[in-house]
Chain A
Amino acid sequence: MKMKMNRLFVKNFELFRTLVVILIGFAISLILIYFISDEPVKAITTYMFKPFDGIRRIGSMIEYMIPIMFAGLGMCMMLSVSQFNLIGDGALFLSAAAVSYFATVLIPNCPPILFPIVMIVAGALIGGGCGAIPAYLQSRFKTNIVVVTLMMNYVLILGGVYMLLYWMRDPSKTYVGSLPIPDAAKLATIIPKTHVSLGIILAIVATVAVNWFLNQTKAGYQMRMIGQNPQFAKYSGINVVKYVIIAQVIGGALAGIGGAVDILGKYDRFIWLTSNGYGFDGMMIAVIAKGNPKHIPLAALFLAYIKIGADLVGTTTDVPLDFVLVVQSVIVMLVAAVSFMSGVRQKAVVKIASAEKAGV
């Protein structure tokens, strides 16, 4: 019996490890709240249970999942070719801004049904373009992709804010916001009393599509091969540069779709003035999912849960919601840590081996 457990543990080690890390992360968040809050019991119960309290809260979790699933899928594409392309944040922001500009100023009279489709395609093109630049620079000039994409994110976000302030700002409002987005452009709400739009279905379709692409198509296989061993891929005749760039363009496009879908599904106006951190969220869930698109929805659900929990803690108690960033970072690093818990695994393997030697 114990042996069986050991075997099960070794076989599903990665899964166990991820679960342990998530528990650790959760524990850290509770400890942080406990020490910082003046009313820890209230804050902790809010954090743990309030996200499930009523259809509106559950709805807000699902709403949060939509953009981060796209960002996470985009990151899966980047990771499939082993590139830490972090353009997701900026691509998502710029595409959301550009789509709002198209919908409010440029073509506000587009026919319904066609309207959201055109907008999402536009978002994909803009995101893909954003993904192409660092990918090209990296392939052609060997520039450090992390630094370039982080720098580009500042530029893209400033660009989005510029569009908001000078191209589509509604002068009749005292706050900074774009002109109202026409109803014809919006994605239909599918759960009443919430903002959960058709976007969640699109996100699931995208998950299936990316999973199919990476695992069932020739191009996807070549990308994964490049990710695992670029030298081998090169010598087996794969055009490494081409596929590395294509993967990152697709990744950027997914983030761009995420921005478009988020704006069209949830907002009446474009009001973002800084990054919402969707890029880092996407990176986190892609890392938790180990770059496997199949696991993105679950990882996104987990993140949406702690994010909405933190949000509620931030609005209803004294604790600033930013503690969740600490938790997210620790989870990312521990999940990515190759040697974390490797000692435990080693012991289990030794036990199995010695039992086998003894002839059990």
Chain B
Amino acid sequence: MNGMTGSELESLKGLRDVEGILGSFVLSQAGHVVLRDLPQMFSNDVLADVGPRVFRLRETLSQDGAAAQVVVRYEDHKLILRPLPESSIVVLALHNVNMSQLKMALNLVGRSFSKVDFNTASAVQSHAGESTNKSAPPSARGAYYRGQRIS
């Protein structure tokens, strides 16, 4: 099991190639958000609050040691949780996202994450000056790694 190298974020960003994907993040086994590729409007504070809850959702629905894959349908959006042995990938998408394409993309990303130890990574931190303006233009969207904006 290896620590994060930085290439994980590139893998995560690859999910955006599927039409309708708004962004994604990775949860450690403790439920901390350790990697994110989300528009800036999703602050790290929000993710710090959401992460453990999503992780509890995974734990609630899992049975006999088997982790549940979860799809939540909202009016206009979907939240997809793909469990991995040592982590979870959480994807936010529009309601009409192509689930077959997303499933395939998640398989690939999940495979590339299979030997990464996300549990030694620190949770993403609140980012000073981070915009919470939900109408931020796409160009203002950024990707974060360990709390630092890197794109």
Does A pair with B?
no
